[in-house]
Chains A and B, each alone.
Chain A
Amino acid sequence: MTSTLQRTPEEIRDRHAENLGRQVGAGIFNPRQLLTSFPDALRKFDPRYQLRNPVMFVVWAGSLLVTVFAVSDPSVFTVAVAVWLWFTVLFANLAEAVAEGRGKAQADSLRRTKKDAVARRLTEDGSEERVPGTDLRIGDLVVVEAGEVVPGDGDVVEGIATVDESAITGESAPVIRESGGDRSAVTGGTTVLSDRIVVQITTKPGETFVDRMIALVEGAERQKTPNEIALTILLSTLTIIFLLAVMALQPFAIYSGGEQSVVVLTALLVCLIPTTIGALLSAIGIAGMDRLVQRNVLATSGKAVEAAGDIDTLLLDKTGTITWGNRRATEFIAANGSDERRLVEAVRLSSLADGTPEGRSIIELCAEKYGLPAEPTEHEKTGEFAPFTAQTRMSGIDLGGRSIRKGAAGGFQTSDEVRAIVDRISEDGGTPLVVAENDEVLGVIRLSDVVKPGMKERFAELRAMGIRTVMVTGDNPLTAKAIASEAGVDDFLAEAKPEDKMALIRKEQEGGRLVAMTGDGTNDAPALAQADVGVAMNTGTSAAKEAGNMVDLDSDPTKLIEIVEIGKQLLITRGALTTFSVANDLAKYFAILPAMFAAIYPALDQLNIMHLATPQSAILSAVIFNALVIVALIPLALKGVRYRPSSASALLRRNLLIYGLGGVVTPFAGIWLIDLLVRLIPGIG
């Protein structure tokens, strides 16, 4: 199986683009977005809005409290603390506004496609009437001709046309849409380039695909996902603990003879509660959806994205996902003592005029492996092509007295040796083609279902992540087994009917596993709906798109793997920043507690290991660090932390080290540095 390792230039390009997509598509953060999102950030100061986030609401309320004190009894310190507390709220608002802003830009470009199309509706008597696209109802039949915009989502019920879907998919090459079959769905807002089709409307205006997309990317319907809710509960718990700890501190301080000001206590509280993750939590969620959109995947809910990270079993269609979809020549086997060179030349001749994908793949293999010309010479063009017929079951060429044929073994007089080769190829899941010159059998061509390059590695990655891959195919078990082992999938479902797929999903789910699958046909719809993550191909039917909870606009079934990674990355980013946030508190204690209490017990100044200048500078530096770290982490929140498929333990070890240990160390350095500047302010240093 040598040729699976060889890649055509296109494949290499594809792989490269894919790798590029992993880095670039992750979302680049442009500092200018901070400025453009500023007005939105200001609007979020509304307390009703702040209430949605318990952690930031406490900061908001604390800022207000400190402001009251700063106004009634102004000093450089109190005013500075008040200002920086408000900055903390502002930065949190900004993080969310920036994340939303990226979606908005996308929504605007989508809106432009939603021109108010005029529909040509067919009436009962067969005549046409012109109505606005917004008046269409489900079941209406509309006519769309070349140059016109499809007025709503629907299925083609009559005709065939090329359609430009670039407005939605960004892919400029037109696609063919025809009635019947699995390529019948058209999307409102796309443009018919040729011919005439009749479309039956399947969606109400306002609920079309584009409408849903706009709502999604704008985050208008964003609901907290289950894990986000659980995390919010944990963060609220931490906030309550710190609220109690700080509130109880005042009586202890009074008892010890050193009552603290409300400003200082509020500053301590804000520094301790998990503001970093609290501020970035919703931005992380929005950015996660955004990363999917950038990969041209639309999820109907954040819950689906989260579920993608939990997937245990991945059902993948063989054809088009694991293999290229058509059989390719992978090996030439000489037989009956004939020379290999002679066989290859004969093979090439037999296929020169064969325009089928199999024929082309034979020529490609001859060119790649044996360096034979891919184009026929002038002499060869004079040959007479013998096309495949059902009677002869072979095709070939007659050239200068040579009659070269290739075809199924049954059409030739075969020796035992040849029959053995043929049987072996069949057992391996390949298709044997016997080649003969003037009725003398020279050898056999092996046609194989070629596994796409890199699949084995990706499945290995998935296995490391704990995800089992199951290949689904209509092939017989023997063929399926051969391909399954070549591709490195964990299991396969052969001779699969749609109901088998459904049964498999149910069985996996009974065992507590979460299942993801891709599909495009109407047949797939029930399974797509049953799966925990169902990714419908955009080329598929409306039924499939309705049933799944994601739509891939590129119709690339391998994208499921990326979706899983995005889901995981989303959770990891939340966990990592929570850890970072909590780990930060250690340094803040070392900064603030000596500042508060060294006046009562001078011995506590030993805890001032950062040697911060004054109590005021120490507290202010901690507050400033706490605010600035939010801004510093916005890019990370939007981009997501780096994710490499590996075992759970390795991931945890790595993230604990970076975000746990890093979270302990960073604020020591940060607060120390800020103090060097802050101490220069008169009235503080």
Chain B
Amino acid sequence: MSPTVAGLLQVGILVVALATAYRPLGDYMARVYSATRHSKVELAIYRLGRINPDSEQKWSTYAYGVLGFSFVGVVLLYVLQRIQGWLPFDFDRGDVPSGMAFNTAVSFVTNTNWQSYVPETVMGHSVQMAGLTVQNFVSAAVGMAVAMALVRGFVRHRTDRLGNFWVDLVRGTVRILLPIAFVFAIVLIALGVTMSLKSGVDVDGQVVANAPVAAQEAIKELGTNGGGVLNANSAHPFENPNSWTNLIEIFLILVIPVALTRTFGQLVGNRKQGHVLLGVMGLIWSAMLTVIWVAEATGLRPLEGKELRFGVPASALFANSTTSTSTGAVNSMHDSFTGLGGGGAMLNMLFGEMTPGGVGTGLYSILVMAIIAMFLAGLMVGRTPEYLGKKLGRKEVTAAAVSILAMPTVLLIGAGIAAILPSTQGALNNPGEHGLSEILYAYASASNNNGSAFAGITVTNDWFQASLGVCMAFGRFIPIIAVLALAGSLAAQRKVPVTAGTLPTTGPLFATLLGGSIVLVAALTFVPALALGPIAEALL
């Protein structure tokens, strides 16, 4: 079988698997977030946290919940790393340095999972399991909770209640992420992913670092986290031993963001509304896959930086899926990609992570973009713009604008300063346009909470640790606050009835409009910067 045919076959299997999971998982998640009953485990958690699960929150209370929970998460994770020396299974790796601990804490709480550390020499199993893995679950659940709050904003009328953050958080973790991650961890172990509490394993007289990989591997992909237990991430044979695990990991990356469009359609009472979002996501995802695949297959050194086990197609498929979902796990080194291929991976992030985007974040990001697109479209049909029966006025446009502005703002300011700092030259592997690509990629990855690295850049100096940490925090929480404010003002509205004058948002016209907006906003914002990096590289 030629690599291309094998690649196409893998894409085919992936699509079939996603299509199979789409309905049951999407419907299940819709039920999870609209159920009125609580399980015993959940009730125990609520009692522990003194939470009344049946009281609903205003958007601001919901937002305080998200921010407070995340802040506490950062503090706990920071402290855990700083006292690692006292914890078991640290293998004398000692306390994590403060800059690195801050960066890592923010990184995992924001679902970025950017890693400025080398796990094998820095993180012991205690921090991995009690700190990082916990955030892998709950940071993903936070993203889904925010998405559900926004959906409720569309569905509900004349209310200031958006649901209960704690309930959404607990249910997302307990009913969705934990069971699926558990099952797939077992599957991955069966397929050869390692699971060990030892620090290493002796292979032909050489000690190779080992860890409880499988438990973290499943949620690493399922929660679109991406932080590897081992430095080589999914390129490491312990994390991703063969083509089947590779395909399963890609499936896990995509399955929740994809199925959430079904959940959305189900909750708004029109499944076509979900289909059209999925269509746009799928179209851009496929187009970018083609770009990366072709660029890599026809590059000068196609296999540079790629695992021979996977080859070009499976590497392109993984790279495209991980960068389009805010996952950031890698099974090949994006730094070694061609100008166009690496630029494509970067562009995936610059779209704002919505094709299909991270768990929850992808859905709310594309809905924000739909609001912007529908605002312009609404004007063009001569009515006060509306989307899903809600008018898009001053408040809604402001919230959407703030949400969209956050990422480019922190990205461009951070990368701009980094580009002229004298210390940066020493941190780069490559000079010239590829060096600039490395800087841009790092800030794109942090600001979009992706976490994948171009890897050609050493990001351990204080400037990078701090600035990337700030980018991750702002890139995550400013959109979340804006999205919740948006949900609040949408829920307060009454529903606008659908008439012949209403612009339908289920057909190809809307899909074109939405897809066009996603591409256009990214292009207009980043083309000047990209011209000096990947574009210059690609045209050489």
Contact = CB atoms under 8 A, between A and B. Distances in A.
B416 A251 contact: yes
Contacts of B419: 251-252, 254-255
B381 interface: yes
B509 A653 contact: yes
B215 interface: no
Contacts of B523: 586
Given A256-B432, A575-B378, A603 B500 contact: no
A571 B526 contact: no
Interface in A455-489: 463-468
A568 B497 CA distance: 18
Interface stretch (B25-33, B132-140, B304-312, B392-400): B392-400
Contact of B540 (A569, A572, A601): A601
A254 B420 contact: yes
A586 B393 CA distance: 28
Contacts of A268: 528
B382 A568 contact: yes
A160 interface: no
A600 B431 CA distance: 14
Contacts of B531: 593, 597, 604, 607
A571 B420 contact: no
B132 to A, nearest CB: 32
Nearest to A463: B500
A535 to B, nearest CB: 19
A673 interface: no
Contacts, number: 207
Contacts of B536: 597, 600-601, 603-604
Interface string B359-381: 00000000000001001111111
A647 B433 CA distance: 49
A230 B375 contact: yes
Contacts of A233: 394, 397-398, 401
Contact of A649 (B417, B504, B524, B539): B504
B415 interface: yes
B436 A242 contact: no
A600 B535 CA distance: 13
A618 B331 CA distance: 44
Contacts of A589: 527-528
B513 interface: yes
A251 B417 contact: yes
Contacts of A576: 379-380
A567 B539 CA distance: 49
Contact of B401 (A237, A597, A652): A237
B509 A513 contact: no
B91 to A, nearest CB: 40
A309 interface: yes
Contact of A601 (B383, B393, B495, B539): B539
A227 B397 CA distance: 10
Given A255-B436, A312-B499, A248 B415 contact: yes
A241, A312, A600, A651: most-surrounded residue (chain B CB, <10 A): A241
A582 interface: yes
B98 interface: no
A241 B405 contact: yes
A245 B532 contact: no
Interface in B413-466: 413, 415-417, 419-420, 432-433, 435-436, 439
Interface in B68-97: none
B49 interface: no
B380 to A, nearest CB: 4
B47 interface: no
A240 B405 contact: yes
A311 to B, nearest CB: 9
Nearest to B415: A248
Contacts of A466: 499-502
Nearest to A654: B380
Nearest to B428: A255
B8 interface: no
B381, B420, B502: most-surrounded residue (chain A CB, <10 A): B381
A143 to B, nearest CB: 49
B434 to A, nearest CB: 11
B409 interface: yes
Nearest to A255: B419
Contacts of B195: none
B408, B419, B507: most-surrounded residue (chain A CB, <10 A): B419
A582 B519 CA distance: 13
A410 B518 CA distance: 75
B392 A252 contact: no
A656 interface: yes
A238 to B, nearest CB: 8
A578 B379 contact: yes
Given A226-B384, A230-B394, A256 B509 contact: no
A677 interface: no
B4 interface: no
Given A309-B383, A653-B509, A249 B529 contact: yes
B38 interface: no
A448 interface: no
A648 B528 contact: no
B412 A248 contact: yes
A593 B377 contact: no
A512 B384 contact: no
Contact of A575 (B379, B415, B504, B527): B379
B394 A226 contact: yes
A253 B500 contact: no
A88 B311 CA distance: 54
Given A467-B501, A649-B504, A567 B382 contact: yes
Contacts of A247: 412, 416
Given A230-B397, A572-B379, A252 B535 contact: no
B499 A234 contact: no
Contacts of A251: 416-417, 419-420
B397 A234 contact: yes
Interface in B506-540: 507, 509, 513, 520, 523-529, 531-533, 535-536, 539-540
B380 A579 contact: yes
A230 B371 CA distance: 12
Interface in A290-312: 306, 309-310, 312
Contacts of B382: 309, 567-572, 643, 651
A561 interface: no
Contacts of A651: 380-382
A601 B526 contact: no
B404 interface: yes
Given A233-B397, A597-B536, A571 B379 contact: yes
Given A241-B405, A251-B419, A512-B495, A656 B540 contact: no
A242 B401 contact: no
A512 B495 CA distance: 6
B528 A593 contact: yes
Given A244-B409, A306-B384, A512-B497, A601 B527 contact: no
A420 interface: no
B384 A253 contact: no
B400 to A, nearest CB: 9
A241 B525 contact: yes
A538 interface: no
Contacts of B396: 230
A585 interface: yes
10 contacts: A246-B528, A247-B416, A249-B529, A251-B416, A251-B417, A309-B384, A512-B496, A603-B539, A648-B501, A653-B509
Given A234-B376, A574-B379, A648-B500, 5 more contacts: A255-B435, A272-B524, A310-B383, A576-B379, A649-B507
Q: 5 closest Cβ contacts across the A-B interface?
A: A466-B501, A575-B379, A568-B382, A466-B499, A575-B380
Interface of A: 226-227, 229-231, 233-234, 236-238, 240-242, 244-256, 268, 272, 306, 309-310, 312, 463-468, 511-513, 567-572, 574-576, 578-579, 582, 585-586, 589, 593, 597, 600-601, 603-604, 606-607, 643, 647-649, 651-653, 655-656, 659
